[in-house]
Amino acid sequence: MAIFLDTGTLGEIERFHRMGVLRGVTTNPTILFKEGVSGGMKGLEARARHIAKLIAPYPLSVEVTTTEREAVLHQAREFASWGDNIVVKVTVHGPDGELENMEIIHELETRHDIRVNVTAMMSAQQCLLAAMAGASYVSIFGGRVNNMGYNACGEITRLRRVLDQFGLKARIIVGSTREVLNIIEWLEAGAHIVTAVPSLLEGMLVHPYTKETVRMFLADGAKLEAKLKA
């Protein structure tokens, strides 16, 4: 699946979707708040429905805004009703290490047939347990792992090996992407998907030597046309 765009900005989503390089979109409350989404849950619904329709059949991940069990279940069912390609993001545990989220993840996937993206994970072992619980996607924050002094590539490779070994369905998403190099190295390490903000995708595509070469081609082409007209 390769690259999910990490944004809620419609213009950026439309631009990269037209290029054919987008395979999904991820959002969270922080992203949407920074991008000016207002109006509470109604505003969130309007933006999510718009994006989901725009990128269908590719998935859109929308994150719940609470950790209370019944509220999470209610939000997840509501979010899933906004589009067939909506995936619900749930953190692996609560803010103080509460474990109830794993039960919720298992229930959503197995009883409600709702696709779940388990997020905010920092290790292969967390991701393995989320995959065993039935998660469709397991998100490890590669940039934060690197910031802790570890190489995220090792965790990604280890995780991919055990998921394949035990035939678990979960797809690995690596997020918290800090630099262009992360995208290709994490995919090479075994990630199914890497999330990237628009500026990183631009950085992947635009190369200074390519610009120099294109300018040379155009200049030489102009000289050739001038000679032909002479």
Task: Just list the catalytic residues.
Answer: 89
Distance separating alpha carbons of residues 206 and 211, to the nearest angstrom: 8
Task: Quote the crossing angle between the two packed helices 198-205 and 180-189, to the nearest 10°.
Answer: 90
CA distances from 137 to 101, 111, 179, 183, 226 (A): 15, 17, 22, 18, 57
Count CB atoms within 10 A of the CB of residue 148.
Answer: 9
CA 157 to chain centre: 18
Cα gap 172→108, rounded to integer Å: 19
> At 133, which amino acid appears?
A
Quote the DSSP letter at residue 215. H
User: Within a 13 Å sphere around the CA of 158, how many CA atoms are in the beta-carbon half?
Assistant: 13
